[in-house]
Amino acid sequence: MVYRVSHPCFGEGVAMLEFDAWREFMRAAEAKEPLPDRCQAVTKKGKPCSNAPQKGERYCGPHLAKAK
């Protein structure tokens, strides 16, 4: 049996033992930079957006729709 632990934002871990799969997943997640507290977009006036980003994303709802 092969264990697979994954998350779309943090990566995945695959191993024969469940413990090793979780350890591989946690190493991949820790290697990524943390998500920001504020939206990374800029408003039409050139100022940084002050909205909170959507869960697991870098942009707020309106800017996320434009980015995709």
Tens digits of per-residue pLDDT, 5-62?
Answer: 887 777 888 888 888 989 998 888 888 888 889 999 999 999 999 999 998 888 999 8
- Is the whole model's pTM more than 0.85, yes or no? no
Q: Which residues of 38-68 are buried (b: 16+ CB within 10 A; e: fewer)?
A: ebebeeeeeeebeeebeeebebbeebeeeee
Token pair listed for 10: 């943090």
pLDDT of residue 49: 94
Contact assessment for residue 39 and residue 59, using Cβ atoms and an 8 Å cutoff: yes
Q: Which helix (H) or strand (E) holds 63?
A: helix 61-67
pLDDT of residue 33: 82
Token pair listed for 4: 């697979």
- Higher-pLDDT residue of 63 and 35 is 63
